[in-house]
Amino acid sequence: MNNFDWLERFIFYLDIEKNASPLTLQAYRNDIIQFLEVAEDPEGNCQELNHITLRRYLAWLKEGDFSRRSVARKLSAARSFLFYLQKEEVISGGRWSVVARPKQGKPLPRFLFDHEVIALLEAPDSKDILGFRDRALLELIYASGLRVSELVSLKIQNLQLEERLIKVLGKGRKERIIPIGRVAAALMTEYFNSIRPILIARNDNNENIEQVFLNRSGKALSDRGVRYIFKKYIRQVTHKEDITPHSLRHSFATHLLERGADLRVVQELLGHVNISTTQIYTHVTRERLREVYHSCFPRK
């Protein structure tokens, strides 16, 4: 078998054994194809791959216009592939650990203050069909801390609006149950009963759409569509840079912790595997405390 044959076997392994998501599988495939191309023998025999090849790949990445985070991700994908080949006894004597990953900075998540969130949620015109959809959509992201990918894949059977619960399929295809507030539940109920039927009627193909959120044509709303909607309204309420739909997820976590929520509870709500991922929000709250202190303390 050549390199690409082994790559497909590795992707199959990640899918079946590791239960990786489709997005993760695609990212691994793209990164490893790039690694094999840099190795200058993409269709060759995997036995030629070694730590020198990996080191050459790292040098190529550092010369390119890649962020440290991207370099670390791509190097990790290549390493995982090599470890898999070693496990399958295709290659031996792996010294992958001698190729060090670049140190990662830990930028604080971008989030919105309470008044900015309220302004954003109230920006859509609720008297308009699409405006009401946008209001419900934004409210749900903030009320649940959903990722955009989780939002667009949310299906009708995932809603338990009377109990104010939603079931989410997160990273690694892991399910979690998230409670939502009364405001979000009321908006979602109105959207589902009154707005969504109007949108579904616009679908000329008579498709049975399971996704909760629809576009103006009655088809499932895409990731790109959500980002367009968010960008439309965020420009109206703040001039902050680099604010994305994910910032609402950050805001959800930050505001919970600021009001005394347990870190483990927030970890569960966000669907983080490791609590260290959630702990970054404690740094955010400290930054908020510092900012409030310096802006309000009289003896500056």
| Residues catalogued as catalytic | 147, 171, 246, 249, 272, 281
- The DSSP call for residue 194 is I
- Using an 8 Å Cβ cutoff, are 111 and 251 in contact? yes
Amino acid at 23: L
- Spatial neighbors of 217 by CB under 8 A, at least 6 apart, are 202, 203
- Using an 8 Å Cβ cutoff, are 190 and 142 in contact? no
Q: How many helices (H) and strands (E) does the chain have?
A: 13, 3
Place of tokens 């993760």: 24
- Spatial neighbors of 243 by CB under 8 A, at least 6 apart, are 110, 112, 234
> Hey, how many other C-beta atoms are within 10 angstroms of the C-beta on 54?
23
First to last CA, the chain: 69
Distance in angstroms (rounded) separating the CA atoms of residues 36 and 34: 5
Amino acid at 52: I
